[in-house]
Structure 1
Amino acid sequence: MSFLSRIRFWILILGDIVVLYLSLILMLAIRYPNDFYNQFINNHLYPFSIVFIVWLILFYIIGLYDPIKLRNNKEFIKTLISALIINGILSIVIFYLIPSFRITPRANLFGFLIILFILEFIWRRFYNNLFSIQEGFYKIVIIGNSKQEAEVKEAIIKNPQLGFEIKEQIEDLNSQEIERLYQIVLKNNINLIVIPRHLKANKEASSVLYNLLEDGIEIWDIPKLYEEIFQKLPLEEIEETWFLENLQNQKRFYDNLKRGTEAVLAIIIFIVLLPLEILIAILIKLTSKGKIIYKQKRVGELGEIFNLYKFRTMREDAEIDGPKWSQKNDTRVTGIGKILRASHLDELPQLVNIIKGNLSFVGPRPERPEFVAELEKHIPYYNLRHLIKPGLTGWAQINYRYGSSQEDSREKLRYDLYYLKNRSIFLDLLILIKTLKFFFVNNE
C-alpha cells in the first residue's frame, strides 16, 4: 500500500473509531440521562471496545475501506447495512457468551445501530468530499497518451475521492509544449506532473522537469500513479531499469522475520485443527479411491521445485493424460472435493509446507513447473515473482477472480509484482484479513 493510500486508509479508520464511540455516547446519553457516566465507564466501555475491534475487521473484510468500490452512496448504503446486520448478530452472540458484559443488547444495541448508521453515513460523505476533486491532494498534468494513462485518467475522473484532479494532458513534451507546460503549472497551481518513463531519457525534457522539481512540484512516472490507483503494476510501462530502481531493497530482514514466526504459527494452527483434518481424511477415504493427500510439484522461491500438499479433491486418474488447468465445474472433482474446494479446506495440508519452509502464509501463489515454463515464454518478467517465497494466499488472490488462462496469469502478475515491491507486515495483515472474506466463497 503506497504512502497516499495509507494516509487515506488511516484517516478512514480513525474516523470510524470516533464515529463508533460517539454513537455509543449518544445512545447512552439518550437511554441513561441521569446515569450516563456510570453506564459508559462501568458497563459499556470495555465490552463495546472489544466488539468494535471485531467490527472494524469485518468493515475491512466486507469492503467498507475500498475507495473505488464505494464511490457512490447507493453501494455504500447497501454495504453498510450488510455490515451492521452481521456485526449486530455477532455482538449479540458476544454479549450473551460473556456474562460479565452487563448490558441489555436488544435495547441498547438496536439504538446504537440506528445512531451509528446515521453518523457513519454523514462521516463517509464528509470523507468523500474531503478527498473529492474540489479538494484534491494532487492537481495533475499528465504527459503522454498511452493505454495506461487513459486507464488512469478514467479512474481519476470516476473516483474523485482518490484525491487527484487532472488539470491538463499534454501528448508529448516537445519544444513547443514546454512553454505551455510552464503556463499550465502557474495558472492551475499544479503540484504533480506525471510522465512516461521514456521521457527521463530526453535531455531537454529532463532539464525542464528538474527546474519544476526545484519549485516543489512532484514528478511521478506513470507506473507510480498507476500503482497508486490500481494497487498493481502496469507491465507495459515498465522495463528492466524499473526493477533495478525499485527492487534493490529486497527487505531481507522482514522476509527472515516471517520465516522465524510463520513455522511456529503454522504448527499451532495445525494442532488446533487436527480433529478437522482427521475427519476430512476419513471422508475422502470413504467416498473415493486413491490417496488422501495429493502431492503436486510447484515452483518456489528462486525457482526451487517443491511438493505442495493438498487434500485430494479429484479422481485418482484426473491427470492421466498430463497436467491440465483446473476449470470451472471441472468434472474430475469428486463430491467431497467440491465441498473442500468451495471452503478451501483442501489447502489445510499446506500448513506442513509452511512448517517445512517452502511456503509462506502470504506471497505469490505457486504454479506448476509445466505452466511456469510456458508462461515465462509469453509474459514478460514472470520469473520475478519467484524472488520471494510463494504463499498460501496473496495480493493477486484477493484482488482478482479465479482464472486459468494466459491473460489471467498476466493480470495476476501485475498484483504479484505490486506485492513484491510493497510487501510489509501491514500489507500481509490486510491480505490475511481480506482472505477471510473468501474462505467460504468458491473462487472458481
Structure 2
Amino acid sequence: MSLAKKTGLLIGDILILYVSLALTLLIRYGFFELSDRFKTHFWPFSLIFAIWLLIFYLAELYHHQTMRNAAVLFKALAIAVFLAGVVSVIVFYLFGQFFELTPKTNLLLFAFIFLVLNYLWRAAIIKFLKRNILGITVIGDSPLMTETIKYLKENPQTGYETTEWLKEPENIDLKTVIKTIRENESQLVVIQPHFTKNFANLNIAYKLLPLGVGIVNFWDFYETIFEKAPLEELEEGWFVENVATRRPYYDALKRLLDLVLSFTIGIILLPLTMILAIIIKASSSGPLLYRQERIGKGGKLFTIYKFRTMHNDNRGPLWTEENDNRITAVGKLLRFAHLDEIPQLWNILKGDISFTGPRPERKELAEQYQKFPYYEIRHIVKPGLTGWAQINYKASASLEEAYEKLRYDIFYVKNRSFFLDLKIILKTIKYVFFSH
C-alpha cells in the first residue's frame, strides 16, 4: 500500500476516533452537555487515541494484506480494538486521578461505536480500491515479473492491475506500445531495466512521457510491492547508483540513540538480568554467557554475547531446528520471550552492533552465503539486534531461506532511514508480544 493510501487511512482513523467520542458523549449526556463533556474528555482521550493508533499499526491495519477482504479486515480490527480497549482500561486505572476521569461505561460504548464506524469506513475503502485500480502495462519478461503479475492479480487491494503484458520487448515498436496504452487506458508503464539498455528502446520509453502515463523501473516497482530487493536481476551498477556506503548525519545520530537507549534499558533490566543469571547457572552446567564470533560491519569479526540456552555442544555451526534437543528447559523459556538477547545490549554499547540492521551471521555460515550474489553488501552497515529480514521472514533453516532473507537485508541497506528503523522496532515489539 502506498504512503498516500496509508496516510489517508490514518487521517480517517483519527477523524473516526473523535467522531466516536463525540457520539458516545452525545448518547450518554445529551446535546446540551456535549460541548462541556467533550472539552473534559478531549486531552485524556487524545493520549488514549495515540495508543490506539500504535496498536492499529502493530496489528497491520495499514497493510494491504489486511484490506484484502471484509472478513479478514473485521477480524483484525476487532482484535485491535479489544487490545486497545484493554490497554485503555489499564491506563485510566493507573492514571485516572491525573485525568480526573474513570470512563468505564463511556469507554465500552466508545469502543463499540468506533468498531462499527471504522469497519464501515475501511470496508468502503476496500470497495473504492477495487473500483479504482491503477491499470499498468508491463514491458519485459522474467520469473520475478511473472511472480509480481500473479501477486497483483491475487491481491487487487494493492491498487494495481496488469492490463497488458508485452513479454517480447525485442519485437516492440513505439506504435505498438502507444496503441496498447491507449486501448487499455493504462496509467502506469512498468519497464524491465534491461529493455532500456538498447538506445532504440530507451527512445521509446522517452517518447511515452508526453502521453501523461507514469513510467517506473520494474526493480523499483518490485521493491514497492514486496519491500525486498529483486536480487536475481540486479547488477553492480544498480548498487553503485542506489546504495550509499555512508550517511554521516544518520549514522552519527543513530549511534547516539544506540548509546542512550542501550544504557537506559540495561539499567532498567539489571534486576531481571541478575535473576536470570542465577536461574541459568542453577538449572544446567556450563557458562552463563554464550560467546560466538560473528561478522560485523566491513566483514570484521566480533564476539557476540547471549545468555546460554543450550547444553554444551561441539557439533559446529548448525541451524537451530524446531524442538532442538540441545536447548535446555530454561533456554526454551528464554528464547520464547527473547530474553537470551539481553546481553547484546553490551554489544550495542561497544559499537559492535546497532538496535536495527541485518543480523550478524556466524563466520562459518557467512562463508557458505558468499555464493549468494551481492552478499557482501549487507556488511556495508552495522549489524543489528533486530532487522528488516527478521520481522518479515522466518528464521533461516536452509540456504534457500537464507537467500530469501538476504533480499530483505539488501532492501534495508538501500533504504535505511530513521522511519524504517522505527518501523522495524515497532514490528519487533509486535513479534515479541504477539507472534506466539
Q: Name the CA shift for 1:106/1:441 in 2 (closer, same or farther; >3 Å).
A: closer
Name 2:24's counterpart in structure 1: 27
Name 1:330's counterpart in structure 2: 324
* Aligned pairs (5 A) from 1:135-150: 135-136=132-133, 138-150=134-146
The alignment partner of 1:306 has SS state of strand
Q: Residue deviations 1:24-68, cap 9 Å, x none? A: 1111111111211111112x1111111111111111112211112
Report the CA distance between 1:214 and its aligned residue.
4.2
Q: Distance in 1 between matches of 2:54 and 2:189?
A: 36
Q: Name the CA shift for 1:14/1:249 in 2 (closer, same or farther; >3 Å).
A: farther
Which structure has more RCO (C-alpha within 8 Å, separation ≥ 6)? 1
Alignment equivalent of 1:260, drawn from 256, 268, 284: 256
Q: What amino acid maps onto 2:127 in structure 1?
A: N
TM-score, normalised by the number of residues in structure 2? 0.95
Unaligned runs of 5+ in 1: none
Q: Name the CA shift for 1:176/1:54 in 2 (closer, same or farther; >3 Å).
A: closer
Alignment equivalent of 1:356, drawn from 350, 367, 391: 350
Is 1:109 paired with 2:96? Answer: no
Would the aligned equivalents of 1:194 and 1:220 in 2 still touch at CA under 8 Å?
Answer: yes
Q: What is the aligned-residue identity percentage?
A: 43
Mean CA deviation greater in 106-115 or 273-282: 106-115
Q: Distance in 2 between matches of 1:120 and 1:442?
A: 25
Q: Name the CA shift for 1:392/1:249 in 2 (closer, same or farther; >3 Å).
A: closer
Q: Distance in 1 between matches of 2:101 and 2:256?
A: 43
Q: May I ask how many residue pairs the two structures share in their alignment?
A: 434
Name 1:370's counterpart in structure 2: 364
Name 2:52's counterpart in structure 1: 55
Is 1:233 paired with 2:221? Answer: no
* Aligned pairs (5 A) from 1:308-323: 308-315=304-311, 317-318=312-313, 320-323=314-317
Name 1:347's counterpart in structure 2: 341
Report the CA distance between 1:391 and its aligned residue.
0.5
CA RMSD of aligned residues (A): 1.7
Would the aligned equivalents of 2:388 and 2:409 in 1 still touch at CA under 8 Å?
Answer: yes
Alignment equivalent of 1:74, drawn from 71, 75, 91: 71
Would the aligned equivalents of 2:67 and 2:157 in 1 still touch at CA under 8 Å?
Answer: no
Q: What amino acid maps onto 1:289 in structure 2?
A: S
TM-score, normalised by the number of residues in structure 1? 0.94
Would the aligned equivalents of 1:342 and 1:442 in 2 still touch at CA under 8 Å?
Answer: no
Name 1:217's counterpart in structure 2: 213
* Aligned pairs (5 A) from 1:39-438: 39-42=37-40, 44-98=41-95, 99-132=97-130, 134-136=131-133, 138-175=134-171, 177-248=173-244, 250-315=246-311, 317-318=312-313, 320-377=314-371, 379-438=372-431
Report the CA distance between 1:177 and its aligned residue.
4.8
Q: Residue deviations 1:234-264, cap 9 Å, x none? A: 1112111211221147433212210122111
The alignment partner of 1:174 has SS state of helix
Q: What amino acid maps onto 1:135 in structure 2?
A: N
Q: Residue deviations 1:175-225, cap 9 Å, x none? A: 455422111223344332112221121121111111112444332222111
Would the aligned equivalents of 1:222 and 1:237 in 2 still touch at CA under 8 Å?
Answer: no
Unaligned runs of 5+ in 2: none
Report the CA distance between 1:403 and its aligned residue.
2.2
Q: Name the CA shift for 1:237/1:176 in 2 (closer, same or farther; >3 Å).
A: closer
Would the aligned equivalents of 2:132 and 2:159 in 1 still touch at CA under 8 Å?
Answer: yes
Would the aligned equivalents of 1:130 and 1:161 in 2 still touch at CA under 8 Å?
Answer: no
Q: Distance in 2 between matches of 1:441 and 1:47?
A: 27
Name 1:36's counterpart in structure 2: 34
Report the CA distance between 1:159 and its aligned residue.
2.3
Q: Distance in 1 between matches of 2:275 and 2:221?
A: 49
Report the CA distance between 1:71 and its aligned residue.
0.8
The alignment partner of 1:167 has SS state of strand
Q: Distance in 1 between matches of 2:356 and 2:212?
A: 38
The alignment partner of 2:117 has SS state of helix
